[in-house]
């Protein structure tokens, strides 16, 4: 093998682009003598050298700047070296080797491998905390050197700013959620108290007593009255703030006392009472009350806004302290009034006592109704739908104007001149009924028989029908009519007319004390009472099923014993399902009333029922048995002639009596549905003579007619109107 000379060529190449100086020793051999993978000097295995260690600047409560000197390398230029910065919160031992330090991740890896950097600022550190830092350096060949670990503590946060409250301390009418925060205490806590004590936090970040919440969290204050809220900001690494203090007054509306009640009720006044309210702040004696009323409905005063808006006569008492009652005067007799009370505290908070209603005592004479000097006894009356009143009786004039036994008066008591009966009836008018078309049926008679035989000069024996203008309705022709008094008239829904009284024939046909007429006045022969009643029928009523109730002084009906009360079918036959037994053996029934529940009230001169004493009044069940739930005690001391049923179920009675169950009631009384006397209907001295007839207007006022000339010492002749 031919030996060739070796040429050693040393080429120094400077690669400025990568900032590296490389010395390449290469031996060039002849082609036949080259050896692959052989270099002169071998690979770089030396780690960079540490020149200057770690130092710290920019030290704050949550930040530190870590500095280190640039390392050197046997091959690489300084700019090519890379650095990694890591920390440990506990000990330098955890970062004392390359392996331990290089394994750090997450928050402990402050800076990953970065070239040509010799400082880094760590933020978000805890105040007054010690941290351990180390830097690793790596050359291009991957050799890693380790700086010596160094430690540094952060500084204090300083003094925290006193907390602020939101909303601010003030008076509120509802509970409040109070946010408490210190402007330089992000991430810190608040220590607060609401019990009047001071919060204490000797060690930053903790509360010795009181309650700890996060900075900016809320505290609920909802107790009525004043609460002193005290708070301080606290945080580890800072000086606790000074204490902030604020008084929060939660002034809830007052609490109402006992509900509204009424006392001293008269016909024109009432005392309104209520329990004293209470308040968390305002003294009871300083609370103010307002009393208002409404004449129509409690719904008009059932809120603070509605009640507070009342003025004029509805403002009974304006804001007044220390009073829990007020007498309200100048009210209308028998009317229902609605009252409400407002109470307010010293901060203007108001609440409403629930509205309450009270009906004033009735029984006062209606001064707006003036009949003038009516001339004689009124025996019957009927109220038209327009409020006008038809009256009949023994009179021959009304307030100085000729009116024979029948007249119509306006709602104010004056004579209705549009109703002209001509010469009227020639004798007494005892009964009447108004048809659905407004025409008026009248019956003549007295308890002694008789009654008119002509109307406005035309023969009409004891019965006639009158047009709405007072003229005789000639389409109603009774022929010779009844041969004796007609004491009761009812109009059936089908327009047929049932009459009862003293008569024993009608237009020449035998009909003992009862008959039914067709709408034209002719006898209805389909109604056959047989031998009828053996004595007068004085009162009647028709049931919804068409059956007819009759009462009076009879003892038999069509030969069957029925003492003073019976029910007959629509064909005139006796209805045996109403069985009164021995019925009434003493006295008679002069007035009868059918209640909406089917019970039947009987009144007159009666003294017993089925052998049990009952004086002038009793109530029976639909089957004829005595209604024991209607307790009348000793009843009336004298005759009852008329009665009426109010919509509320109360019963009005008129007649010649002066007491009811031992209580003075001169000729007029009102009973509750159970038979007890209604003490809210106050009649004073009552009437000086009998009431023969009464009716109730749609507005609830009571019209009475009779032989009286005064009511409760007020002069009023034969006709009056009373307020319930």
More confident residue, 7 or 581: 581
What are 220's strand-pairing partners?
Answer: 177
Q: Which of 113-122, 231-240, 452-461 has the lowest mean pLDDT?
A: 231-240
Q: How many domains does the chain have?
A: 3
State the pLDDT at residue 449.
Answer: 60
Same domain, 540 and 619: yes
Q: Say how far apart CA 672 and CA 230 lie, in whole Å.
A: 66
Q: Say how far apart CA 482 and CA 441 lie, in whole Å.
A: 14
Q: Is residue 625 part of a domain?
A: yes
Residue ending a domain, choose from 250, 275, 293: 250
Confidence class for position 500, pLDDT limits 50, 70, 90 = very high
Q: Is residue 652 part of a domain?
A: no
pLDDT over 90 (residue 624):
yes
Q: Is residue 640 part of a domain?
A: no
Residue 505 and residue 483 in contact, taking contact as beta carbons nearer than 8 Å? yes
Same domain, 296 and 236: no
State the pLDDT at residue 29.
Answer: 38
Same domain, 241 and 270: no
Average pLDDT of the segment spanning 349-357:
96
Average pLDDT of the segment spanning 224-238:
88
State the pLDDT at residue 39.
Answer: 35
Q: Say how far apart CA 189 and CA 214 lie, in whole Å.
A: 4
Q: Which of 219-228, 447-456, 487-496, 518-527 has the lowest mean pLDDT?
A: 447-456
Same domain, 271 and 317: yes
pLDDT over 60 (residue 1):
no
Confidence class for position 107, pLDDT limits 50, 70, 90 = very high
Average pLDDT of the segment spanning 391-407:
95
Q: Is residue 208 part of a domain?
A: yes
State the pLDDT at residue 12.
Answer: 36
From the list 405, 602, 379, the residue with the least C-alpha distance to 487 is 379
Q: What is the pLDDT of residues 300-341, one digit of tens each?
A: 999 999 999 999 999 999 999 999 999 999 998 888 999 999
Same domain, 189 and 265: no
State the pLDDT at residue 416.
Answer: 97
Sign of the torsion angle spanned by Cα atoms 186, 191, 196, 197: negative
State the pLDDT at residue 60.
Answer: 87
Q: What is the pLDDT of residues 698-711, one digit of tens each?
A: 989 999 999 999 99
Q: Cis check for the bond before 425: say yes or no (omega within 30 of 0).
A: no
Average pLDDT of the segment spanning 601-625:
98
Q: Is residue 561 part of a domain?
A: yes
Q: Give percent of the chain above pLDDT 70.
A: 94
Q: Is residue 150 part of a domain?
A: no
Q: What is the pLDDT of residues 406-460, one digit of tens each?
A: 999 999 999 999 999 999 999 999 999 999 999 999 999 876 666 899 999 999 9
What are 214's strand-pairing partners?
Answer: 189
Domain range for 226: 164-250
Q: Going edge to edge, which strands form the sheet with 463-466?
A: 429-434, 440-444, 463-466
Mean pLDDT, the chain, whole residue set: 91
State the pLDDT at residue 334.
Answer: 84
Residue 101 and residue 175 in contact, taking contact as beta carbons nearer than 8 Å? no
Residue ending a domain, choose from 344, 361, 378: 361
Average pLDDT of the segment spanning 633-637:
98
Average pLDDT of the segment spanning 365-378:
87
The H or E element containing residue 128 is none
Confidence class for position 281, pLDDT limits 50, 70, 90 = confident
Residue 698 has a CB neighbour count (10 Å cut-off) of 10
Q: Say how far apart CA 242 and CA 252 lie, in whole Å.
A: 32
Same domain, 322 and 352: yes
Confidence class for position 372, pLDDT limits 50, 70, 90 = confident
Same domain, 331 and 279: yes
From the list 39, 65, 68, 32, the residue with the least C-alpha distance to 51 is 68
Q: What is the pLDDT of residues 70-83, one digit of tens each?
A: 999 999 999 999 99
State the pLDDT at residue 448.
Answer: 62
Residue 503 and residue 485 in contact, taking contact as beta carbons nearer than 8 Å? yes
Same domain, 244 and 281: no
Q: What is the pLDDT of residues 643-670, one digit of tens each?
A: 999 999 999 999 999 999 999 999 999 9
Q: Say how far apart CA 155 and CA 64 lie, in whole Å.
A: 10
Q: Is residue 437 part of a domain?
A: no
Residue 229 belongs to domain with CATH number: 2.60.40
Question: Would you state the structure tokens that stand for residue 209, as one six-digit string?
Answer: 């007593």
From the list 48, 42, 36, 97, the residue with the least C-alpha distance to 75 is 48
Same domain, 241 and 324: no
pLDDT over 80 (residue 129):
yes
Q: What are phi and psi of 638, to 5 degrees?
A: -155, -175
Same domain, 212 and 191: yes
Q: Is residue 679 part of a domain?
A: no
More confident residue, 105 or 18: 105
Question: Would you state the structure tokens that stand for residue 35, as one six-digit string?
Answer: 């050896």
State the pLDDT at residue 252.
Answer: 83
Q: Which residue has the tokens 């005592």?
A: 361
Same domain, 306 and 221: no
Q: For residue 263, how far is the Cα from the chain centroid?
A: 25
Q: Would you call 280 exposed, middle or buried from its count of C-beta atoms within 10 A (0-12, 13-18, 19+)?
A: middle
Same domain, 557 and 618: yes
Confidence class for position 178, pLDDT limits 50, 70, 90 = very high
Residue ending a domain, choose from 361, 387, 416: 361
Residue 348 belongs to domain with CATH number: 2.60.40.10
Average pLDDT of the segment spanning 18-35:
38
């Amino acid at each position: 093998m031919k030996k060739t000379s070796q040429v050693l060529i040393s080429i120094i190449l400077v690669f400025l682009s990568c900032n590296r100086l490389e010395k390449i020793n290469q031996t060039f051999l002849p082609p036949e003598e080259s050896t692959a993978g052989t270099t002169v000097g071998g690979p770089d295995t030396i780690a960079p050298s540490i020149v200057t260690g770690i130092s710290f600047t920019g030290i704050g409560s949550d930040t530190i700047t870590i500095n280190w000197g640039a390392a050197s390398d046997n091959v690489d230029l300084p700019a090519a070296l890379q650095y990694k910065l890591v920390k440990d919160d506990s000990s330098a031992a955890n970062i004392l080797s390359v392996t331990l330090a290089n394994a750090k991740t997450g928050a402990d890896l402050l800076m990953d491998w970065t070239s040509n950097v010799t400082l880094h600022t760590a933020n978000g550190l805890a105040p007054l905390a010690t941290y351990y830092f180390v830097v690793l350096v790596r050359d291009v060949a991957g050799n890693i050197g380790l700086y010596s670990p160094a430690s540094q503590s952060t500084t204090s946060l300083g003094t925290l700013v006193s907390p602020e409250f939101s909303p601010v301390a003030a008076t509120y009418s509802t509970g409040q959620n109070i946010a408490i925060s210190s402007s330089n205490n992000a991430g810190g806590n608040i220590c607060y108290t609401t019990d009047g004590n001071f919060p204490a936090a000797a060690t930053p970040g903790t509360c010795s007593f009181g309650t700890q919440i996060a900075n900016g969290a809320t505290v609920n204050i909802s107790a009525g009255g004043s609460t002193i809220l005290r708070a301080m900001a606290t945080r580890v690494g800072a000086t606790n703030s000074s204490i902030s203090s604020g008084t929060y007054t939660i002034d809830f509306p007052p609490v109402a006392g006992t509900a509204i009640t009424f006392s001293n009720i008269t016909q024109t006044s009432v005392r309104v009472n209520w329990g004293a309210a209470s308040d968390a702040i305002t003294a009871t004696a300083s609370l103010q009350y307002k009393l208002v009323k409404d004449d129509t409905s409690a719904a008009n005063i059932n809120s603070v806004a509605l009640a507070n808006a009342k003025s004029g006569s509805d403002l009974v008492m304006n804001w007044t302290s220390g009073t829990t009652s007020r007498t309200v005067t100048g009210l209308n007799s028998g009317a229902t009034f609605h009252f409400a009370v407002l109470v307010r505290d010293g901060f203007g908070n108001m609440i409403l006592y629930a509205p309450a209603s009270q009906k004033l005592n009735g029984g006062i004479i209606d001064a707006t109704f003036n009949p003038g000097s009516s001339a004689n006894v009124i025996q019957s009356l009927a109220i038209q739908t327009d409020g006008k009143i038809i009256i009949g009786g023994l009179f021959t004039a009304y307030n100085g104007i000729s009116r024979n036994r029948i007249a119509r008066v306006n709602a104010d008591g004056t004579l209705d001149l549009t109703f002209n009966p001509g010469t009227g009836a020639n004798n007494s008018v005892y009964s009447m009924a108004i048809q659905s078309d407004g025409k008026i049926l009248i019956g003549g008679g007295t308890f002694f028989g008789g009654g008119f035989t002509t109307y406005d000069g035309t023969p009409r024996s004891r019965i006639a029908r009158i047009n709405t203008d007072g003229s005789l309705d000639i389409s109603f022709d009774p022929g010779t009519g009844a041969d004796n008094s007609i004491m009761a008239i009812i109009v059936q829904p089908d327009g047929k007319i049932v009459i009862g009284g003293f008569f024993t024939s009608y237009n020449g046909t035998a009909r003992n004390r009862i008959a039914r007429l067709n709408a034209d006045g002719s006898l209805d022969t389909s109604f056959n009472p047989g031998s009828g009643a053996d004595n007068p029928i004085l009162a009647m009523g028709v049931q919804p099923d068409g059956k007819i109730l009759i009462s009076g002084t009879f003892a038999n009906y069509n030969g069957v014993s029925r003492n003073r009360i019976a029910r007959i079918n629509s064909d005139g036959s006796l209805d045996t399902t109403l069985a009164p037994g021995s019925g009434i053996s003493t006295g008679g029934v002069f007035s009868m009333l059918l209640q909406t529940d089917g019970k039947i009230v009987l009144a007159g001169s009666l003294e017993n029922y089925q052998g049990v004493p009952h004086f002038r009044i009793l109530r029976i069940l639909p089957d004829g048995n005595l209604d024991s739930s209607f307790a009348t005690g000793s009843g009336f001391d004298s005759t009852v002639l008329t009665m009426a049923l109010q919509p509320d179920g109360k019963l009005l009675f008129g007649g010649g009596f002066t007491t009811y169950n031992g209580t003075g009631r001169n000729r007029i009384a009102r009973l509750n549905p159970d038979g007890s006397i209604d003490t809210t209907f106050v009649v004073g001295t009552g009437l000086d003579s009998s009431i023969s007839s009464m009716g109730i207007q749609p507005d609830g006022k009571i019209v009475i007619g009779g032989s009286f000339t005064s009511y409760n010492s007020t002069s009023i002749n034969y006709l009056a109107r009373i307020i319930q």
